[in-house]
Amino acid sequence: MELRYYLPLLLLFVLTITFIYVFFLYAPSANAISFPSTKYTTEITACKSGDSTSCIINSCSGTVRCVNGIWGGGIVSQSCIPGEETNCYTQACSVGHKTCNECGTGYSSCVFDKK
């Protein structure tokens, strides 16, 4: 058989070996890899089903409820969509706008439109 027949296979083999060598030569060692700290503190207390208490979720005040003796996930009761703007009315006339706060729990003071 001719050498031209085996040349593509030989080239593929050389490239594969070169790739593996370079990968292991420049790959970081396990000592060089840093992992994020996992220092978390949680206080687990027993609860009675139906109990609720206040909590903070992403800097917003919320409520967490007890279900089957286990505290569930916290909920922020939203009354609007954060960042949403709505009109302010005085005697059925729109006089400005107000913006929903970042937690979605209420609106800012009315910003009066200039006429």
**Domain spans of the chain, in order of start:** 3-29, 78-115
Return d(Cα 93, Cα 108) in angstroms, integer: 19
Q: Does 33 score more than 60 pLDDT?
A: no
Mean pLDDT of 50-71: 87
CA distance linking residue 56 with residue 67, whole number of Å: 19
* pLDDT reading at 42 higher than 60: no
Residue 56 has pLDDT above 50, yes or no: yes
What stretches of the chain adopt beta strand conformation (E)?
A: 52-57, 60-67, 70-75, 85-90, 93-99, 111-112
pLDDT at 20 over 50: yes
pLDDT at 7 over 70: yes
pLDDT band (50, 70, 90) for residue 41? very low
pLDDT-derived band of residue 27, with 50, 70 and 90 as boundaries? Answer: low
pTM for this predicted structure? 0.48
- Give the dihedral sign, CA 32/33/34/38: negative
Residue 3, SS3 per DSSP: helix
pLDDT confidence of residue 29: 57
3 state DSSP class of 65: strand
Look at residue 43 and give its three-state secondary structure: coil
